[in-house]
């Protein structure tokens, strides 16, 4: 049986290797099947001058028929009313927000759907997204992840950096151009709202490229009960297993094969496009309906995978299929046949699959995205997001509750290739790792020539970690835990009062401040992201707003070749402080400074989110040409909210002016002057102006009285 499977996998790999260019004429004639557009989606036409949409952001409950106010339950894969047990009609089923079918918990929906609507826009088309905040209490902002916002930095959606939070009852129109083309997404950029579902796909299409059939996969990690704030405070304290009220336990910290730590957000289910099922233990799962993708054999499908997870990296694969990697974060990569891809929060991957009739001859396969926690670190659990791939032209009936065969055939002879490992090896001869050092940029739209030299204009080191003494180890960058200012830095920088005090920061100290670093224009900037020192131990996907960068080098520690465990951090970087907090760092070999790093990529891939491995570093470069205040942060929301972010102030003297009437906000610090407590006065609520008005009236009265 194993050898038969090996042959099948070999055939599948061969098919992927010859994808494109060798499809039969009949296959190419078949019109591409794009994901169906729902009424709530924002689908632009190629010749629209401006593409306008309205997003009503609202709270909703899962497992409820919202209009009818009826609770819903799941029974053997079928949705029924909880009271009365009536089977829902297909139209009613469409309207229920499922998540994993457990509990009925609060989520954030846009235009009634979860995750939010898809935005489909064409390259450089102007988008106008009116966001209406219908929450009762919470504010909101939306960031369009991966888009450069060239010339519109105040539309980047980062609360307190580029705009005021949008308050309940308020609306805010985001207006910007769709660039760069590729697979992106939008999501909340205030607190941890993304964990409650405030995100959705954002596809920027090129006009001159004929689409092929495609499938959009958004990935999320899910917890039945935790709203955004609970998730944050549980991370700070502990994760508890409440499943047995008589025996509440602390959930032990889980880890990946290198020892990188996870589990500070309790994973209960994985969701694909907002649907999943809860594995109560390693073998028993609930029957909530999964997302279904309907495909035909012999057709090329572009999968657009979006990492919207709160915390967990997920390794995605399709049972029995090879994947042909095509792009990440909107930019093309050399076509590479792999078996699975590790998607970190904030990353996007496009790959192509052609399903073969011969492969297993099954009606259904599962698409599986497992967390990268080792099985030993969470015994008796299965942590995965799943979706069903149904082969339309294969005979047989689809199953309501498809089994999970976890079919991934890897052998010593034909090991499975895992792309984007945040560590050196998988600890298994069955799987080998590829990372960004191993793939080339094949994108014709951005020429790396400018950044390839040995000289750079600016070299900046940023350590993403949790350094500090016990009891005070906030998320930080270079030991500076980010403090949100009271007003947007970009438009009201004068209100900033929490600048970093260099006497209290750095040199082995941990401080809390609004960390800002300026970069000049028209310059080659080299940034070295590290994850080292006594605050390391967790891997961090680092995202830079307003830019895509070239990944010049990924540097790792040393690993046990048998177990995959991290033995030592990289020795290429040197921490100068006595506490090993790595608040100031540099190259151990000084001759590497100024851009002279050995082993740089000659065809560097382009990204906007890159994982910084535990104990390692990543060298990135870009040409600075986009004035604005750009957030640079860990894309694990909980780490970011805990302080692991900072601001790159690009070309400060060239910031464009915001649109007329752009909202302003800030503290009200009562200064004690002229406040009237006169209860007889009925005015417009502005006590200071009432007092001044009263005074003016008295003076006028005196003037006329004295001049009669
Ligand atoms: Cu992080």
Q: Which helix (H) or strand (E) covers residue 692, if one does?
A: helix 687-707
Distance 639 CA to ligand 1 centre (A): 5
Instruction: Single out the residue of 62, 101, 106, 63 nearest to residue 83, CA to CA.
Output: 63
Here the tokens at position 161 are 């950096």
Q: Which pLDDT value is given to residue 708?
A: 40
Instruction: Tell me the backbone φ, ψ of residue 261, rounded to 5 degrees.
Output: -95, 150
Residues 407, 608: Cα–Cα separation, whole Å: 32
Residues 440, 59: Cα–Cα separation, whole Å: 43
Distance 536 CA to ligand 1 centre (A): 10
Which residues are placed with Cβ below 5 angstroms of ligand 1, an ion?
540, 634, 636, 639
Distance 649 CA to ligand 1 centre (A): 21
Residue found by looking up tokens 């009263």 in the block: 694
Instruction: Single out the residue of 557, 578, 581, 561 nearest to residue 569, CA to CA.
Output: 557
Q: Which pLDDT value is given to residue 680?
A: 61
Residues 279, 456: Cα–Cα separation, whole Å: 50
Instruction: Single out the residue of 556, 562, 615, 565 nearest to residue 258, CA to CA.
Output: 565
Q: Which pLDDT value is given to residue 20?
A: 37
Residues 334, 327: Cα–Cα separation, whole Å: 8
Distance 346 CA to ligand 1 centre (A): 11
Here the tokens at position 405 are 């065969």
- Strand pairing partners for 50? 126
Q: Give the Å distances, CA to CA, from 534 to 19, 303, 580.
A: 47, 39, 6
Q: How many residues does the chain have?
A: 708
Distance 637 CA to ligand 1 centre (A): 8
Instruction: Single out the residue of 290, 282, 312, 351 nearest to residue 220, CA to CA.
Output: 312
Instruction: Single out the residue of 387, 383, 409 nearest to residue 398, CA to CA.
Output: 387
Residues 75, 400: Cα–Cα separation, whole Å: 10
Q: Which pLDDT value is given to residue 208?
A: 86
Distance 497 CA to ligand 1 centre (A): 26
Mean pLDDT per 10-residue interval, the chain, length 708 residues: 40 40 45 85 93 97 96 96 96 96 95 97 97 97 98 98 98 98 97 96 92 95 92 91 89 94 94 96 93 94 97 95 95 95 98 80 92 94 96 92 84 87 93 96 83 92 97 96 97 96 93 98 97 95 98 97 96 95 96 95 96 98 97 96 97 96 93 69 46 49 48
* HSE value, Cβ hemisphere, 13 Å, CA-based, for 367: 31
Distance 347 CA to ligand 1 centre (A): 13
Distance 534 CA to ligand 1 centre (A): 15
Cβ atoms < 10 Å from Cβ of 83:
10
Residue found by looking up tokens 């594995």 in the block: 279
Distance 587 CA to ligand 1 centre (A): 23
Q: Which pLDDT value is given to residue 695?
A: 52
Q: Which pLDDT value is given to residue 614?
A: 97
CB burial of residue 131 (10 Å; 0-12, 13-18, 19+): buried
Distance 623 CA to ligand 1 centre (A): 25
Distance 120 CA to ligand 1 centre (A): 30
End-to-end Cα, the chain, rounded Å: 113
Distance 27 CA to ligand 1 centre (A): 44
Distance 640 CA to ligand 1 centre (A): 7
Residues 480, 644: Cα–Cα separation, whole Å: 8
Q: Which helix (H) or strand (E) covers residue 353, if one does?
A: strand 348-354
Here the tokens at position 21 are 């260019």
Distance 336 CA to ligand 1 centre (A): 28
Distance 636 CA to ligand 1 centre (A): 5
Distance 29 CA to ligand 1 centre (A): 46
What pTM, to 2 d.p., does this model score?
A: 0.91
Instruction: Single out the residue of 303, 284, 351, 287 nearest to residue 323, CA to CA.
Output: 351
Instruction: Tell me the backbone φ, ψ of residue 654, rounded to 5 degrees.
Output: -120, 15
CA 52 to the chain's CA centroid:
24
Instruction: Single out the residue of 280, 264, 263, 254 nearest to residue 376, CA to CA.
Output: 254
Distance 12 CA to ligand 1 centre (A): 36
Distance 412 CA to ligand 1 centre (A): 34
Residues 640, 192: Cα–Cα separation, whole Å: 9
Distance 481 CA to ligand 1 centre (A): 12
């Amino acid at each position: 049986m194993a050898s038969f499977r090996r042959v099948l996998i070999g055939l599948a790999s061969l098919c992927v290797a010859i994808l494109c260019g060798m499809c039969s004429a009949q296959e190419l004639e078949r019109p591409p099947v794009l994901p169906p557009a729902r009424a709530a989606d924002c689908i632009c036409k190629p010749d629209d001058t401006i593409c306008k949409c309205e997003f009503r952001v609202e709270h909703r409950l899962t497992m409820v028929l919202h209009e009818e106010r009826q609770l819903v339950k799941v029974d053997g894969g079928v949705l029924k009313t909880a009271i009365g047990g009536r089977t829902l009609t297909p139209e009613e089923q469409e309207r229920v927000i499922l998540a994993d079918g457990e509990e009925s918990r609060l989520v954030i929906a846009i235009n009634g759907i979860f995750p939010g609507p898809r935005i489909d826009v064409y390259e450089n088309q102007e988008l106008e997204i009116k966001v209406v905040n219908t929450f009762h209490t919470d504010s909101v902002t939306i960031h369009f992840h991966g888009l450069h916002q060239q010339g519109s930095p105040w539309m980047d959606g980062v609360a307190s950096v580029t705009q005021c939070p949008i308050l309940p009852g308020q609306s805010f129109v985001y207006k910007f151009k769709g660039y760069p083309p590729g697979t992106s997404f939008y999501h909340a950029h205030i607190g941890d709202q993304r964990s409650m579902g405030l995100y959705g796909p954002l596809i920027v299409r090129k006009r001159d490229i004929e689409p092929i059939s495609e499938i959009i996969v958004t990935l999320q990690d899910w917890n039945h009960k935790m709203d955004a704030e609970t998730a944050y405070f549980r991370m700070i304290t502990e994760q508890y297993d409440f499943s047995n009220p008589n025996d509440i336990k602390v959930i032990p910290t889980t880890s990946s094969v290198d020892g990188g730590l996870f589990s500070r957000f309790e994973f209960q289910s994985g969701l694909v496009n907002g649907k999943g099922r809860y594995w109560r233990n390693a073998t028993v799962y609930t029957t909530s309906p999964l997302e279904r993708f309907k495909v035909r054999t012999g057709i090329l499908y572009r999968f657009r995978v979006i990492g919207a997870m709160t915390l967990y990296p997920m390794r995605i694969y399709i049972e029995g299929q090879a994947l042909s990697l095509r792009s990440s974060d909107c930019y093309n990569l050399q076509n590479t046949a792999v078996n699975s891809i590790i998607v970190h929060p904030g990353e996007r991957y496009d790959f192509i699959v052609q399903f073969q009739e011969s492969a297993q001859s099954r009606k259904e396969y599962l698409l599986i995205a497992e967390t990268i926690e080792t099985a030993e670190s969470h015994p008796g659990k299965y942590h995965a997001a799943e979706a069903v791939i149904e082969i339309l032209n294969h005979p047989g009936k689809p199953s309501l509750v498809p089994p999970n065969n976890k079919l991934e055939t890897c052998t010593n002879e034909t090991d499975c290739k895992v792309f984007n490992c945040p560590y050196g090896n998988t600890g298994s001869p069955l799987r080998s790792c590829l990372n960004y050092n191993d793939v080339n940029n094949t994108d014709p739209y951005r020429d790396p020539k400018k950044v390839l030299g040995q000289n750079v204009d600016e070299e900046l080191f940023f350590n993403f970690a949790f350094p500090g003494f016990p009891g005070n180890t906030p998320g930080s960058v270079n030991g500076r835990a980010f403090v949100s200012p009271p007003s947007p830095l970009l438009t009201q920088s004068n209100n900033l009062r929490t600048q970093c005090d260099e006497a209290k920061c750095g040199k082995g100290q941990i401080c809390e401040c609004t960390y800002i670093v300026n970069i000049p224009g028209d310059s080659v900037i080299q940034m070295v992201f590290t994850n080292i020192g006594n605050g390391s131990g967790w891997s961090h996907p680092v995202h830079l707003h307003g830019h895509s960068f070239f990944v010049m080098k990924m540097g790792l520690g040393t690993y046990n070749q048998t177990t995959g465990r991290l033995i030592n951090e990289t020795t290429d970087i040197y921490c100068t402080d006595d506490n090993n907090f790595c608040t100031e760092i540099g190259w151990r070999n000084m001759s590497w400074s100024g851009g002279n790093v050995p082993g740089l990529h000659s065809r560097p891939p382009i990204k906007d989110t890159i994982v910084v491995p535990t104990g390692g570093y990543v060298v990135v470069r870009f040409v600075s040409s986009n004035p604005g205040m750009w957030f640079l942060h860990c894309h694990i929301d909980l780490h970011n909210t805990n302080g692991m972010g900072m601001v790159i102030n690009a070309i400060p003297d060239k910031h464009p002016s915001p649109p007329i009437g752009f909202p302003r906000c800030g503290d009200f610090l009562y200064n004690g002057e002229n406040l009237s407590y006169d209860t007889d006065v009925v005015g417009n609520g502005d006590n200071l102006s009432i007092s001044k008005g009263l005074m003016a009236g008295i003076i006028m009265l005196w003037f006329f009285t004295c001049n009669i």
